[in-house]
C-alpha cells in the first residue's frame, strides 16, 4: 500500500493524520474510490469532477486545482506500480478546534491511497451474492444528499453490519418511502424482459461511475437501460439482478432475504444480460482509462 500525503508518496505505515482533523472527528470531508484497470486509471476526469463538486457542495476548498489533484492520483498510481489496483482519494476539512464548527479549520488536507482490493471472490462473481433488506434507511436528499461522497458513511456502515450479522453478503437499503436506494456502497440493477432498470438518484442512490458505465455499455449492446423507482418486490420478480461499484465492480445477486432472485437454475453470473455486460466491461475500461 502506498499513500500520497503532505507532498510525497510514503508507505502506509508512515502516513499519519492529526487526531484533531475534522475528517476524523466529524466525517467532514469527501472521497472518491477509483479503479486501475490494465495500468490505466478508469474514468479519472469523471471521478475528479465528482470529487470537486462534492467538495463544493460542502463548502470545502480543495488545496490544489483539479490538474494538481490529477497529478497526485497519477503519482500515487505510479508509485504503487500495479496493473490492477484501487485508489482512495480523500479531502478533509483539516485540523480544527474540538467543536463541530468548520470555520476553525484553515488548511484542508488531501491524500491518496493506492492498494489492492477484493470485496467479492471469483466464485461469488459467478454464483452471485446474498442480499438482506436491512432496517437502516437511506436519509432523504434534503438531510444528507447521497450524491455527495462524504466521509460520513455511518449509514452505509450500519447497513453493511446488519446484513453481515444476518448472514448475508450485502445490504439492500430502502429509503423512507420503501423504495430501493442502493446496496450499502453499490448501485442496484434489475433485468426484466431483457431490459435494465436502476433506481434514480432521487430515490437515494449515488450517481455511480460504474453505474453510468453499465448504462453506456447497455446502450452500445442494444439493451435498453432506464432509471426508475424500484421496490423490494421488483427485485424478487426480476429475471436477473446485479450490483455495481468501483470497489465491487459488477456483482450478480443470487438471493434476497433467503428467496432466490431469477427464475432458472443458471448461475447468476452466467445469465444473459449480466454476462453480456460483464464481458463488454473490460473493453470499456480500456477505452476510458488514463495511463500512468
Each residue of 41-55: pLDDT tens digit?
A: 999 999 999 999 999
Domains recognised in the chain with CATH numbers: 2-115 (3.30.470.10), 122-287 (3.20.10.10)
Which pLDDT band holds residue 66 (cuts at 50, 70, 90)? very high
Taking 90 as the threshold, does the pLDDT of residue 150 lie above it? yes
Question: How many whole angstroms separate alpha carbon 226 and alpha carbon 137?
Answer: 23
Each residue of 133-142: pLDDT tens digit?
A: 999 999 998 8
State the chain's mean pLDDT as an integer: 97
pLDDT value at position 161? 98
Taking 90 as the threshold, does the pLDDT of residue 125 lie above it? yes
pLDDT value at position 144? 86
CA distances from 96 to 67, 75, 110, 152 (A): 27, 28, 15, 17
Which pLDDT band holds residue 146 (cuts at 50, 70, 90)? confident
pLDDT value at position 158? 98
Each residue of 101-114: pLDDT tens digit?
A: 999 999 999 999 99
Which pLDDT band holds residue 70 (cuts at 50, 70, 90)? very high
Question: How many whole angstroms separate alpha carbon 137 and alpha carbon 158?
Answer: 10
Taking 90 as the threshold, does the pLDDT of residue 259 lie above it? yes
> Looking up cell 420503501, which residue turns up?
178
pLDDT value at position 9? 98
| % the chain with pLDDT above 90 | 97
Radius of gyration of the chain (CA): 19
pLDDT value at position 207? 95
Mean pLDDT for the stretch of residues 56-60: 97
Mean pLDDT for the stretch of residues 212-235: 98
DSSP the chain: -EEEETTEEEEGGG----TTBHHHHH--EEEEEEEEETTEEETHHHHHHHHHHHHHHTT---SS-HHHHHHHHHHHHHHH--SSEEEEEEEE--B--SSS-GGG--S-EEEEEEE---SS-HHHHHH-EEEEE-SPPBPPTTTS-TTS-BS--HHHHHHHHHHHHTT-SEEEEEBTTSBEEEESSSEEEEEETTEEEE--GGGT----HHHHHHHHHHHHTT--EEE---BHHHHHT-SEEEEEETTTEEEEEEEETTEE-SSSSS-GGGSHHHHHHHHHHHHHHHHTEEE-
Which pLDDT band holds residue 12 (cuts at 50, 70, 90)? very high
pLDDT value at position 162? 98
Amino acid at each position: 500500500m502506498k499513500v500520497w500525503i503532505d507532498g510525497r508518496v510514503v508507505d502506509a505505515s508512515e502516513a499519519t493524520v492529526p487526531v484533531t482533523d475534522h475528517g476524523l472527528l466529524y466525517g467532514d470531508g469527501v472521497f472518491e474510490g477509483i479503479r486501475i484497470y490494465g495500468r490505466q486509471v478508469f474514468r479519472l476526469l469523471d471521478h475528479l469532477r465528482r470529487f470537486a463538486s462534492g467538495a463544493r457542495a460542502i463548502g470545502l476548498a480543495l488545496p490544489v486545482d483539479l490538474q494538481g489533484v490529477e497529478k497526485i492520483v497519477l503519482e500515487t498510481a505510479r508509485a504503487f506500480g500495479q496493473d490492477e489496483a484501487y485508489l482512495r482519494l480523500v479531502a478533509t476539512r483539516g485540523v480544527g478546534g474540538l467543536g463541530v464548527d468548520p470555520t476553525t479549520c484553515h488548511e484542508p488536507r488531501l491524500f491518496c491511497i493506492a492498494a489492492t482490493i477484493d470485496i467479492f471472490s471469483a466464485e461469488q462473481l459467478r454464483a452471485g451474492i446474498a442480499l438482506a433488506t436491512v432496517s437502516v434507511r437511506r436519509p432523504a436528499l434534503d438531510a444528507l444528499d447521497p450524491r455527495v461522497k462524504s466521509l460520513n458513511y455511518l449509514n452505509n456502515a450500519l447497513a453493511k453490519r446488519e446484513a453481515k450479522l444476518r448472514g448475508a453478503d450485502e445490504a439492500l437499503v430502502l429509503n423512507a418511502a420503501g423504495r430501493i436506494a442502493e446496496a450499502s456502497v453499490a448501485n442496484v440493477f434489475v433485468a426484466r424482459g431483457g431490459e435494465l432498470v436502476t433506481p434514480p438518484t432521487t430515490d437515494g442512490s449515488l450517481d455511480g461511475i460504474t453505474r453510468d458505465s453499465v448504462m453506456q455499455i447497455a446502450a452500445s449492446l442494444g439493451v435498453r437501460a432506464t432509471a426508475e423507482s424500484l421496490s423490494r418486490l421488483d427485485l424478487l420478480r426480476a429475471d436477473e439482478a446485479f450490483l455495481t461499484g468501483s470497489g465491487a465492480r459488477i456483482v450478480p445477486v443470487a438471493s434476497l432475504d433467503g428467496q432466490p432472485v431469477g427464475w432458472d437454475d443458471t448461475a447468476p453470473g452466467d445469465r444473459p444480460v449480466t454476462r453480456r455486460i460483464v464481458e463488454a466491461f473490460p473493453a470499456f475500461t480500456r477505452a476510458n482509462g488514463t495511463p500512468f
